[in-house]
């Protein structure tokens, strides 16, 4: 490994250690907003069982999210964000071919 590259790597590791110890603030932070599942469902004006069926999830999962026992993660979180911001996309995808 070249000396310059090695020195940059060591400096980076030291900076990370200082951030973890609280001696240096991170250069950037990311804030991930929570998904308000109950509010999203209310926008659709659907019951829990209808909304769960719409998203293809179990009603138990939906209830756990709405009651704060669990938090949607990964693809489910993205699906809920799409459902919130682009409801027409959700309806377009789930409508049966005969109703289009």
Q: Domain-by-domain residue ranges, the chain?
A: 1-29, 37-99
User: Per-residue pLDDT tens for 33-64?
Assistant: 889 999 999 999 999 999 999 999 999 999 99
Question: What pLDDT shows up at residue 99?
Answer: 57
C-alpha to C-alpha distance for 87 and 12, rounded to whole angstroms: 43
100 has pLDDT over 70: no
Candidate CATH numbers 1.10.260.40, 1.20.120.1200, 3.90.1150.10, 2.30.30.30; the one for domain 37-99: 1.10.260.40
C-alpha to C-alpha distance for 62 and 47, rounded to whole angstroms: 11
CA separation (Å) from 15 to 20, 29, 32, 54? Answer: 9, 15, 24, 47
């Amino acid at each position: 490994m070249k000396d310059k590259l090695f020195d940059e790597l060591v400096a980076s590791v030291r900076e990370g250690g200082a951030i973890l110890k609280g001696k240096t603030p991170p250069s950037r932070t990311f804030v991930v907003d929570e998904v308000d599942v109950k509010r999203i469902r209310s926008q659709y004006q659907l019951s829990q069982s209808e909304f769960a069926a719409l998203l293809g999830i179990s009603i138990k999962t939906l209830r756990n999210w709405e009651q704060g026992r669990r938090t949607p993660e990964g693809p489910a979180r993205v699906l809920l964000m799409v459902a919130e911001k682009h409801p027409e996309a959700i309806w377009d995808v789930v409508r049966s071919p005969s109703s289009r």
